[in-house]
Chains A and B, each alone.
Chain A
């Protein structure tokens, strides 16, 4: 006799995770290495400013919204922050997740308690839904949004929702919900290199490039 819920969990933790890891690691490396190796055409002009310094500075300064942006698009800016910070607290400070990273890389750090993890999860989900709603409500952004963008947003929310349900045993068999949680992460890892989720790795390169162009021209970025 088998426990189908446990079998699904073992599939999600076992062969499917291996496949997802292969696609994720190889996919991300292909894209990042390709960008780096391709490089940029050498600019022979003498730099008027400090391109490297401005480039590095931009990586950090673009984390903050430009003046007036919060007023213009409050939900996009605030929701974006809440979603990202909440997602990373839930992902990186929940001890079972740290145990997973430790198993994979040997790196470990202390986690935080359930109150912080679950509050962050709930806030991140609410923010994600708000982002989804505003994106859908605004005719311009709706026009700009492809189905992959919606898919990516939904796939980013699923691990948060399924994880919350599994840990709190809200409904369904807890083992089954845990399997769904890991399954949702496997799927997120598989689609990652092929979608805009790649921004998690490419944002720094893009910001550095923009900053260094301005820096070379002698402008403050």
Chain B
């Protein structure tokens, strides 16, 4: 590992000044929810940290996560952090292909056994391993084999973290998350479809500098997934005032009113989208006029429809309601009819008795 150049050297090569590096460290420090006094330590740690070998495994995925992280932002300090690791295997980014590529993975594993970091994007088919294979090796086998010598695993994207789109109902491949398969290694989940590039690089930076970050019960770093989007949303004041957009292009939507009625999942979604934002802090989906899809949460594809308000029922209520109306009216009318009939029958069957008959009956007995 020490053979690879450390960060200062790389910075020089990329023409990045020390000032902008320190600025980056400061923002990274605040992003990681560390006290500001830690910024110099982050800088020091990043400068001196040896570059770990990273093996990036892509399974049932769309490459969106890789797209996001590689296009994070110019002047690409994130890219620099990316350079601060030694990416030894990545289908999309590596030049080698076929057997040579697989050899690179095996060589990296052998050389750095027990120390390398595995990044996974994409879910793993469990029904039939043949659904997704690389160089004749099923995703399941490759994950198990590679994870064995890993120091830690970072599941990047909701597919790797929670199963994501491939796992959506009816889950044709029996897709599972990394944590469904690997139980004996520390796993950091960085969900999102895709995750915010800055969050991905910050998690890597945290791993490089301070090790594994504090995780929530869903395996997500608390620094980035502790607060709901709703609580940090710039449209939140309109929610509080009771002002809601009724359509994507109505006046309310343009005036920044809350998108809850259009299906926004902000209240149940934890992420820093509303504060860190995307494309170099330009905006985030809600700012672009579309409700949050809830992509950092498990099963977000199947959570009752993207355009249905969170408070609306998610099941087959329309049919149920119609059936209830018919059944209710019929049963009510039927009950009343039976009661009336009982009354009428009782009246019809009523035998009149007079004193004479009673006397007669008494004598006979």
> What residues of chain A have their CB less than 8 Å away from a CB belonging to chain B?
1-3, 6-7, 9-10, 13-15, 17-19, 21-38, 93-97, 99-100, 102-104, 110-114, 116-117, 169, 174-175, 178, 182
Name the residue in B314, B323, B327 with the highest tally of chain A Cβ atoms < 10 Å from its Cβ.
Answer: B314
Question: Which of B161, B328, B337, B339 is within 8 Å of A1, CB to CB?
Answer: B161
Q: Is the CB of A1 within 8 A of B311?
A: no
The answer to the question of B93 belonging to the interface, with a C-beta cut-off of 8 Å to chain A, is no
Q: Is the CB of A175 within 8 A of B313?
A: no
For residue B329, which residues in chain A have a CB less than 8 angstroms away from its CB?
29, 33
* A–B pairs, 10, beta carbons within 8 Å: A1-B219, A2-B299, A9-B268, A22-B324, A25-B321, A27-B328, A31-B332, A114-B241, A174-B267, A174-B268
For residue A14, which residues in chain B have a CB less than 8 angstroms away from its CB?
304, 313-315
A1-B162, A96-B310 in contact; A18/B297 too (CB < 8 A)?
Answer: no
Q: A28 CA to B204 CA in the complex, in Å?
A: 58
Q: Is the CB of B309 within 8 A of A29?
A: no
Q: Is the CB of A2 within 8 A of B323?
A: no
Name the residue in A27, A94, A112 with the highest tally of chain B Cβ atoms < 10 Å from its Cβ.
Answer: A27
Q: A42 CA to B353 CA in the complex, in Å?
A: 27
Q: Is the CB of A95 within 8 A of B324?
A: no
Q: Is the CB of A13 within 8 A of B309?
A: no
Question: Which of A1, A29, A111 is within 8 Å of B177, CB to CB?
Answer: A1
Question: Which of A19, A33, A104, A113 is within 8 Å of B328, CB to CB?
Answer: A33
A13-B304, A32-B332, A100-B309 in contact; A1/B298 too (CB < 8 A)?
Answer: yes
What would 7 more interface pairs be, CB under 8 Å, given A6-B268, A29-B331, A182-B311? A15-B315, A18-B315, A18-B320, A38-B339, A95-B244, A169-B231, A174-B267
For residue B313, which residues in chain A have a CB less than 8 angstroms away from its CB?
13-14, 17-18, 21, 100, 103-104
Tell me the nearest residue of chain A to B310, going by C-beta: A96
Q: Is the CB of A26 within 8 A of B324?
A: yes
Tell me the nearest residue of chain A to B316, going by C-beta: A18
The answer to the question of B180 belonging to the interface, with a C-beta cut-off of 8 Å to chain A, is yes
Q: A190 CA to B320 CA in the complex, in Å?
A: 14
Per CB-CB distance, the 6 closest pairs between chain A and chain B, nearest first, are A29-B328, A33-B332, A37-B336, A25-B324, A26-B328, A99-B309
Q: Is the CB of A37 within 8 A of B317?
A: no
Q: Is the CB of B304 within 8 A of A10?
A: yes
Q: Is the CB of A13 within 8 A of B240?
A: no
Scan B270-309; emit 1 where CB is below 8 A from any A CB, else 0.
0000000000000000000000000001110011100011
Q: A25 CA to B331 CA in the complex, in Å?
A: 12
Name the residue in B219, B298, B317, B332 with the highest tally of chain A Cβ atoms < 10 Å from its Cβ.
Answer: B332
Q: Is the CB of A37 within 8 A of B299?
A: no
Q: A216 CA to B291 CA in the complex, in Å?
A: 59
The answer to the question of B312 belonging to the interface, with a C-beta cut-off of 8 Å to chain A, is yes
For residue B304, which residues in chain A have a CB less than 8 angstroms away from its CB?
10, 13-14
What is the size category of the interface that chain B forms with chain A? 35 or more
Q: A212 CA to B287 CA in the complex, in Å?
A: 59
- Nearest Cβ distance between residue B220 and chain A, in whole angstroms? 10
Q: Is the CB of A103 within 8 A of B308?
A: yes
The answer to the question of B228 belonging to the interface, with a C-beta cut-off of 8 Å to chain A, is yes
Tell me the nearest residue of chain B to A7, going by C-beta: B299
- Nearest Cβ distance between residue B264 and chain A, in whole angstroms? 11
Q: A104 CA to B327 CA in the complex, in Å?
A: 18
Q: Is the CB of B309 within 8 A of A103?
A: yes
Tell me the nearest residue of chain A to B327, going by C-beta: A26
- Nearest Cβ distance between residue A41 and chain B, in whole angstroms? 10
Q: A199 CA to B244 CA in the complex, in Å?
A: 33
- Nearest Cβ distance between residue A8 and chain B, in whole angstroms? 12
For residue B180, which residues in chain A have a CB less than 8 angstroms away from its CB?
1
For residue B177, which residues in chain A have a CB less than 8 angstroms away from its CB?
1
Tell me the nearest residue of chain B to A186, going by C-beta: B313
- Nearest Cβ distance between residue A196 and chain B, in whole angstroms? 19
For residue B321, which residues in chain A have a CB less than 8 angstroms away from its CB?
21-22, 25, 104
Q: A9 CA to B299 CA in the complex, in Å?
A: 12
Q: A36 CA to B179 CA in the complex, in Å?
A: 59
Q: A99 CA to B304 CA in the complex, in Å?
A: 14
- Nearest Cβ distance between residue A131 and chain B, in whole angstroms? 27
- Nearest Cβ distance between residue A57 and chain B, in whole angstroms? 27
